[in-house]
Amino acid sequence: METATTFGARDHARAQEGAQAEAMPVVPATAWPDPPREAGPLVWAETVAGGNYTHRALARGTELRLTDLRGDACAHLLLFVADRPWERLNVADTVKVQWNAYLGEGKLLLSDQGRVLASVVADSSGRHDALCGTSTLVRNTARYGDGTPQSASPAGRELFKLAALKNGLEPRDLPPSLSFFQGVRVGEDGALEFTGSAGAGASLTLRAEQDLTVLIANVPHPADPRPEYTSTPLEVLAWKGRATAPGDPLWEASPEGRRAFLNTADFHTARGLA
């Protein structure tokens, strides 16, 4: 089809309507062909290619399921409270308050205000990381020859910058991130050991405990020893749900977690959102 003229370009563009690619959002999300059995109405349905990113604002109570489709996805995650982006994921407090550097089912993702941003309600992977953060332009350039977003080996932080800008945030707003589906362990000598992934089909489900802005970069873990830039598709599905309430096992799992939930509930009550 001729695209040298405006009319030709328009006709070519319109001819693409309905075309499907492996990695793309489905709009509306309710058109997703195979929603999880336990899911309510889907509000986000997308496949994120390796070396790409996505972002979305999610309502309190929304459940977000990430799935490593082929065994080499690595979902680097940042969370911000939607209308107060200065309250954001604090990985150090997430680890410190819960006395555990290895996240999984039943753990909470905390802000530096002592409140819960999200809870981990299900996890079939167990290969996650709260220690290393994501990759950087300098590191990827040294290792792969380039780390810019348009390259074949984009760095996680560079993709986070793009996602941040689309949500009114700046590079200085980006804290250290969490990584899901690629893990590390700390050895007896203090060195980090890369544990790789749990394989294709591993999934993790988060529940938003506040209105959130979610940023995700699907790029190789910085500790991955393979010389090639290896990153495969990540499935992202979210559906309407309810925030964790008193009496839920997550709420009562530990004294520290209970206090964090109480801090969150107290804040919502003061704003008339309880």
Domain that holds residue 166: 40-270
Q: Report which of 103, 17, 100, 60 is spatially closest to residue 265, judged by C-alpha positions.
A: 60
Distance CA 156, CA 171 (A): 12
Tell me the two tokens of residue 74.
């690595």
pLDDT tens digits, residue range 78-122?
Answer: 999 999 999 999 999 999 999 999 999 999 999 999 999 999 999
Backbone angles phi, psi at 101, to 5 degrees: -90, -5
The pLDDT value recorded for residue 8 is: 83
The pLDDT value recorded for residue 1 is: 61
Looking at the domain assignment, is residue 172 inside a domain? yes
* Mean predicted confidence (pLDDT) in 26-30: 92
Mean pLDDT over all residues of the chain? 95
Looking at the domain assignment, is residue 241 inside a domain? yes
Task: Determine what percent of the chain is predicted with pLDDT higher than 90.
Answer: 86
Contact indicator for 58, 64 with CB cutoff of 8 Å: yes
Number of Cβ within 10 Å of residue 109's Cβ equals: 26
pLDDT tens digits, residue range 134-143?
Answer: 999 999 999 9
Number of Cβ within 10 Å of residue 49's Cβ equals: 17
pTM of the model: 0.95
Contact indicator for 206, 121 with CB cutoff of 8 Å: yes
Looking at the domain assignment, is residue 3 inside a domain? no
Looking at the domain assignment, is residue 175 inside a domain? yes
Domains: count for the chain: 1
Distance CA 163, CA 233 (A): 18
